[in-house]
Homo-oligomer: A and B are copies of this chain.
Amino acid sequence: MQDIIKDLIQKNNSKIIMTVLDGLGGLPVNGRTELETARTPNLDALARTSACGLHTPVGCGITPGSGPGHLGIFGYNPYKYGIGRGILEALGLGLEIRKTDVCLRCNYSTVKDGVITDRRAGRIPTEYNHKITAMLQDAIKMIDGVEIIFVGGMEHRIAIVMRFPEALEPDAADIEDTDPQKEGKAPLAPKAKNGNAEKVAVVVAKLIEQTRQVLKDEEKANFLLMRGFSNMPHLPGFEEAYGLRALAVATYPMYRGLARLVGMDTPPLEGSVEDEIAFLKEKYGEYDFFFLHVKKVDSYGEDGNVSGKAERISEFDALLPRLLELNPDVLIITGDHSTPALMKAHSWHPVPVILKSPYVYGGLCSAFSERECLKGELGIFPAVNLMPLALANTLRLKKFGA
């Protein structure tokens, strides 16, 4: 799709706001979904006059992670553009990833006599993790000209970024996990899967040895097991793909990180959804496209808290007039995937979509909900079609063919 779009792009002064209520879609509990439970007078009114439908994030029956979920609504085929575990971990910890970087996630683990006795080092306390991670960073800053960045996570988790002096080949991070996934085995060697990965594997081997030396006197956390070696996917950015100057308005590092992968500006931001909207308004003159991310809807879904998730949706509904005041040419309200409180997890279900634009039928849905959106003019469509729809509705796509 993006290949076709690229040749049709024309620029103008229109504005697009894409609001992602993370994990928006749900399932009925006592007959009503979270969206059907929430008080949403503003969203309902918008649904009545807008184009509505549901998008399938990745594919029929496929439950997306946050990475593929966002790539899809940003118009990138999630099958084509994989985001490695190491990259996501580093993004989630707030690291800025570059084309020169190989990222990996590690476990602090316990190794005795060359054999793993605890893959998670007894789930050491987070504070302790951060203390020994600082120790590692003090001792190890550079290996063979490669900068090494350690970032401690929760409990036994730690991310490492290896920053090379030059950009890497796309397959340079294809290195086998050193974690054998079982206690009682020896850690594996960091084996390169291809020629381009060999120089990386050499540095990894030295990294393992040096960290082992630093950690050797620790009782539990005396070894790092490594997984998810990955580098930055080579995605055409929003400017290149769509001719859009794009801003991410998100308070969670991972979502800013995902937005950065597709070339959005991602200034750090803290605060409530109200603060996010205020920030968007401040920056409204400077960009064409705004990705507004609302995290908490998903969090309550993951906790199985129907009323909590509904309440977050209601809160957003109350703030919606502030977005409408801006009168963007296209306003999209959707999610990156469903997180039914019933399932306490992401799910495969299609995600409701409102697309406000002057060029729609409207009048098909009486409210904003999964079941009402089924009656809408957009039908059930692949998530990657959302960006072409946004561009078309801002008259940013030329005619195809004569």
Decide: A68 near B371, CB < 8 A? Known: A63-B392, A359-B343, A389-B60.
Answer: no
A28 interface residue (CB < 8 Å to B): yes
Identify which of A122-130, A175-183, A210-218, A361-369 touches chain B.
Answer: A361-369
CA distance A66 to B400 in the complex (A): 9
A67 interface residue (CB < 8 Å to B): yes
Query: In the complex, what residues of B have CB within 8 A of residue A363's CB?
Result: 28, 31, 371
Flag A364-394 by CB within 8 Å of B: 1 or 0 each.
1000001100111101111001001111110
- Candidate in A89, A345, A370, A399 with the most chain B CB atoms within 10 angstroms: A399
Query: In the complex, what residues of B have CB within 8 A of residue A379's CB?
Result: 374, 379-380
The DSSP consensus for interface residues of chain A is: loop
The 10 closest A-B pairs by CB, nearest first: A61-B388, A61-B392, A60-B385, A65-B401, A68-B401, A65-B402, A379-B380, A348-B392, A61-B389, A88-B402
29 A-B pairs whose Cβ atoms sit less than 8 Å apart in the complex: A5-B61, A8-B62, A27-B361, A28-B363, A31-B363, A33-B361, A59-B388, A60-B382, A60-B389, A61-B388, A61-B390, A61-B391, A61-B392, A61-B393, A62-B400, A63-B392, A63-B400, A64-B400, A82-B401, A83-B401, A85-B402, A342-B359, A346-B399, A347-B392, A348-B389, A364-B374, A371-B377, A374-B375, A379-B379
